[in-house]
Amino acid sequence: MSHDHDHNHSELSDIELRVRALETLLTEKGYVDPPALDELIETYETKVGPKNGARVVARAWADPDYREWLLKDATAAIAELGFTGRQGEHMVAVENTHDTHNMVVCTLCSCYPWSVLGLPPVWYKSAPYRSRAVRDPRGVLAEFGVTLPEDTKIRVWDSTAEVRYLVIPRRPVGTDSWPEEDLAELVTRDSMIGTGLARDPNSVGETA
Ligand code: FE
C-alpha cells in the first residue's frame, strides 16, 4: 500500500474526472450552489482536522472523568469540546490497551468521523485497505510500520453511516507531567484510526 508515497499527479484521476463531471452537472441542474460547496470543502480541509481528535484524546489522557464519559457517550463528550456536525453524529470511542489494539475501517465505502479527524486520507478509502484491514490487520499494521506485542489482540471496527469510531491510542510512558496541549501534539491522525501509535515523546520538543 502506497499510503506514504508522494506521487506527482500530472493529470486528474478517473475519480477526480467523475467528481468534476458530477459537480458540473449538479450545478447546471441547480442542485448545488458552488460557493456553498467550496465553503464546505474548505471547512473540512482547513478548519476541521485531526487536531480536533487530538484534543479529545489528550483530554481523555489527562482527565479520568472525561475519559470515562468519552468511553460511555463519545458523541456527547466530543460535543462538549465543540466538535459536532456532519459524520460525527454518532461517535463511539474505543481505547487501546496492552491487551487490545483497535483499528477502524469502513469496508463498504469510506465512512469516517469528519468532526474529529477531518477528511479521510486516500488510503482509508482505497480498496486494498478496506478489504485487508479485516482479513489481515497485522499485515496492514506492519505496512504502516506498527508492530504490536504478540499477545495484543487486534479488534477491527467497521464504520457505518450510523456509527463512527475514534481510537484512543495508548498514552506514551514518561508523559505524566505533560500538560494537555503538549499531550495533544503526540496524537497523530493515524493513531486515532488505529493504523499508528501515539508519537514517541522524545521525538517532539517538550515545551518548557
Ligand atoms: Fe463508508
Span 14-201 CATH architecture: Alpha-Beta Complex (3.90)
**By the 8 A CB rule, do 176 and 165 touch?**
no
Q: How do residues 49-104 score in pLDDT, each as one tens digit?
A: 899 999 999 999 999 999 999 999 999 999 999 998 777 789 999 999 999 999 99
SS3 at position 171? coil
40 is written with which cell numbers?
464546505
Give the model's pLDDT for residue 94: 98
The average confidence (pLDDT) of the chain is: 89
Question: Measured in angstroms, how far is the CA atom of residue 86 from the centroid of ligand 1?
Answer: 13
177 assigned binding-site residue: no
Domain boundaries, the chain: 14-201
Give the model's pLDDT for residue 6: 46
Give the model's pLDDT for residue 11: 65
Catalytic positions, written as ranges: 106, 109-111
191 assigned binding-site residue: no
Higher local confidence (pLDDT), 40 or 28: 28
pTM of the model: 0.80
Question: DSSP strand E in 47-171: where?
Answer: 91-95, 100-105, 153-158, 164-168
Location of C-alpha cell 458540473: 24
Question: Measured in angstroms, how far is the CA atom of residue 73 from the centroid of ligand 1?
Answer: 22
**Average pLDDT in the 166-177 region?**
96
**Average pLDDT in the 179-191 region?**
96
**Is the per-residue pLDDT at 164 higher than 90?**
yes
Question: Measured in angstroms, how far is the CA atom of residue 28 from the centroid of ligand 1?
Answer: 28
Question: Measured in angstroms, how far is the CA atom of residue 23 from the centroid of ligand 1?
Answer: 21
Q: How do residues 114-161 score in pLDDT, each as one tens digit?
A: 999 998 999 999 999 999 999 999 999 999 999 999 999 999 999 988
Cβ neighbours around 3 below 10 Å, total: 16
126 assigned binding-site residue: no
**Is the per-residue pLDDT at 34 higher than 70?**
yes
10 assigned binding-site residue: no
Question: Measured in angstroms, how far is the CA atom of residue 122 from the centroid of ligand 1?
Answer: 13
Give the model's pLDDT for residue 5: 46
